[in-house]
Structures are given as C-alpha cells and as structure tokens.
Chains A and B, each alone.
Chain A
C-alpha cells in the first residue's frame, strides 16, 4: 500500500525556509521567471508529498450540504449534531445490520493513512487521515450473489444542513462503487485527520475516502450502505451525466468538459507555484490499475 509516514514528509520548518529562500531571490516577476525554467521546478518536486496544513484541510472544502462556497462548510457545520449516528448496511445481503458509531469505533482499529486528494476542479491536497479499510466493515455482512455494486447514501437533514434547502443536487447525496472497488484495501472509512476526531466539515462522523478517484466520489456523513444489483446513479451523474461518470477515476488523459485534468494545483503552495502533472489513478496505479484491465477508461470515465 502506498503510504508515507510523517517522517518522510518535508517538515513544515524546512519547507518554510525553502519558501522564504525562493521569495528572497526576488518577489514578483523574477520568481515567476525562475519557476518557468524547468530545472528550478525541481525545488517544487518534493512539495507534492508535503502534508497540506490542518487549516487548509479544514477550511477549504466542497460539501454542498453546508453551502457551495469553499468556506461555507467550515462556517455552517460547527453546530451539526453527529451523535447519535447509525449506519445501516442493507440491500442484497443475507443479514442486514445497523451499527452505531460507538459500535463501529469499538469494532475497528483506525490507523494513520496519508493519501493525496485530487478534486475534479483541478486542485489537490495531501491529507493524513485516520481510518480503516471499508472491506473490514463490509465483510460483516454476506452479500448475496446478486450484489454487484455498493451504494452510499448521505444524511438528509435540511434543518441542520442549509445547502439542502436548495435543489443544488438531488438530495440526499448519493454515491456508488463497484463491489471490487469498495472491497479494495485503499478504500477507507475515515474517522479522523491529523490524529484528531474528524471535523464536521470534512464529513463527520462517517465518511469514505477513495484515493484514486476524484474527491466527490468520497461521500460524507453516510447513513446507509446498500448492496445493489445495478449500477447506481450518483447525485453528480444526475446533475450532469456528460460531465460526471460513475467511475470518475483520476485520469489526466480524459478531460472534464470544462477543465483540463492534465495538471493540478497543490493547495497551500502560494501564488507563484506552478501546476504539477496529474498522475494516472492519482498515483495509485500500482494498486488499482488491475481493477480496470480491458476497460476503455475514456468511455467509462
């Protein structure tokens, strides 16, 4: 599994020194000119794996239930009630179950998992999540042989979630994975970040994270996990089937109709930092490419 530890990441201090060195060369045009020289771009190469700051991770979010601007989720989610919380696992399973968050945290041990998050809008972060593989949870129920896909339904609570009072998306938020994608060890149930409890604006109390897919596939505040026979239609597919496919794997070769996916901006890098090349499957190709052998990823985007 591709994971890197805190110690392997450029410490914030060294990073800051490097940054101030670049700044000291000269502000404005000169540092712009420097970074257009291919060689000097190397000074940015390591930044790709540097942890995004806790502040940026927790104040720059796409979570339309709490509003459509990036700062809305932080502002509007602080009073959101996450206890009690129950997750129902149902559908094409032999024995459907309902688990409370307390039961889940007793049953599974969370570990630190540092993954890159690539948003479909063309930016990325590196986040030290806390969590465990979704497969551990899903193995508690026995899917019937009809089960081919897993559907995730997020909470519907317009009283607490301002954004749900407007028909921005067809609420509740809905996402889905093929069963082998859901069972892949990289597919994570997230319970925290930076060693702390998961903040509301990041999807508390129960969200998933699929590192090789665009961020919107990783549904937040999940209440229902349903095994189904047919491919579910996600909220974004409903909103615009031409723009958002079911798979939505990070793929620099398949453009979104409105923006290129070849490159991305790293959050927190500052105004003079260049874009970096987006990696196939967000850099997790070694682990997940085999899930898609023989598939035309331009067609199944």
Chain B
C-alpha cells in the first residue's frame, strides 16, 4: 500500500497540467486564453506552495511521518508550475521580446517579486536530489528554508497584481502566514524542551 502513495501524489499533482493542456489544444480557454493559462499556472503554483508547507505541520498533528516523503515531489511541482507560469508570460505572452519584459521586471513590483521568487526556487530545484541532501548536510536544511520567503513573495505577487478585489489573494496570504506561524510554535517548543 505504502509504495503506491508517492506515485499517487505524482499523478494527482500532474492533473492540473493535464487539464490545462487539454484546454489549450481543444481551444477551451475562452476569449483571453493566454491570460487564462497565466492565471491557472500561477494559482496552482501557490496551491502547491501551500501543500508543500502543509506537510510538516501534518506530520506533527497526525504523528505520521509519511507526509514528509511527499514533500520533495510537491516542492518540485511548485517549481514545475512556476516555470510554466513564467514561460507563459515570457514566451507565449511576450514572445521572448526581452526589452518590454525587462522593462516590466524593473518597473512593476509584482513582476519583480514574482521573478525573484522564481529565481529563489532555482537552487531548491537543483539541490532537490538525495545526493545533494547528503552533500550539503546541514546547509541543505538552511537553504531549503528559502521556501518560506518564496511563499511570501508568491502571495505578494498575487496581491499586487490585483485590481481592486483582494479576497482570493488575501486567502493565500493568510494560509501561508498560518502555515509559517505553525512552524514558529514548533521551534519555540523545541527550545522549551531544550
């Protein structure tokens, strides 16, 4: 039973990708398809960030270690959807015309912070293998705490691009803050326990 869990998580995590591919090739994205793809991949990146951050609190509350074994897969899907999101913007929307893109990165704070978040994801994706964990030892853990910063950047990216309604982006920010706050508690307890 247990050996099917990880492949199961992988298959479930690919479903959004299959949905968007299906919609692209059967032209089911409505009047502004590029915007749809951008929003879809962006939102799924945030959802996977939340899922990744949920694993260690879940382990704590359920006292099951199995959750931790999903973390790497979920984390790599964060990178996968974030990269699709970035490629949609850079390639599909702006056709790799670098001058307007650079202009956006410099002038628009939501693009700046979104791009920064993707850059911060790079070292995490590169060092995701078991080999790297062994190689980097304690530094690996420190490095991978970058996900906390990436999560906050991601939710700010969503808030800053919204026109007037902040409801949905605020929900993500709140979830992320709660998930981060749960960690502070864990730490404090560890300190109390010595």
Contact = CB atoms under 8 A, between A and B. Distances in A.
Contacts of B94: 275
A263 interface: yes
Interface in A1-57: 27-28, 32, 35-36, 56
Contact of B30 (A60, A258, A260): A60
A275 B93 contact: yes
Interface of B: 24-25, 27, 29-35, 37, 91-96, 100, 103-104, 107-108, 110, 160-161, 163-165
A258 B164 contact: no
Interface stretch (A104-112, A137-145, A264-272): A264-272
Main SS of the interface on chain A?
loop
A262 interface: yes
B156 to A, nearest CB: 13
Contact of B100 (A70, A169, A263, A267): A263
A239 interface: yes
A267 B108 contact: no
A32 B164 contact: no
Given A270-B33, A271-B27, A260 B95 contact: no
8 contacts: A27-B25, A28-B25, A32-B92, A64-B164, A68-B164, A258-B161, A263-B100, A275-B95
Main SS of the interface on chain B?
helix
A289 interface: no
B29 A168 contact: no
Interface centre among B31, B91, B95 (most CB of A within 10 A): B31
A68 B27 contact: no
A271 B164 contact: no
A68 B107 CA distance: 26
A257 interface: yes
A94 interface: no
A259 B31 contact: no
Given A121-B163, A265-B34, A271-B24, 10 more contacts: A32-B92, A56-B31, A59-B31, A60-B31, A64-B164, A68-B164, A270-B27, A271-B34, A271-B37, A275-B95
A102 B93 CA distance: 46
Interface centre among B95, B160, B161 (most CB of A within 10 A): B95
A194 to B, nearest CB: 16
A168 B162 CA distance: 12
Nearest to A29: B91
A171 interface: no
A169 B163 CA distance: 11
Interface residues of A, number: 30
A275 B104 CA distance: 15
Contacts of B24: 271
A61 to B, nearest CB: 10
Nearest to A123: B32
B164 A239 contact: yes
B31 A260 contact: no
Nearest to A23: B27
A202 to B, nearest CB: 14
Interface string A166-179: 00110000000000
A271 B29 contact: yes
A136 interface: no
A255 interface: yes
A59 B35 CA distance: 16
Across the A-B interface, give the 4 residue pairs with the lowest CB-CB distance, nearest first.
A271-B33, A60-B31, A56-B31, A267-B31
Interface string A136-165: 000000000000000000000000000000
Interface string A237-264: 0010000000000000001011110110
Contact of A68 (B108, B161, B165): B165
A268 B31 contact: yes
A271 B100 contact: no
A274 interface: yes
B107 A255 contact: yes
A169 B91 contact: no
A262 B100 contact: yes
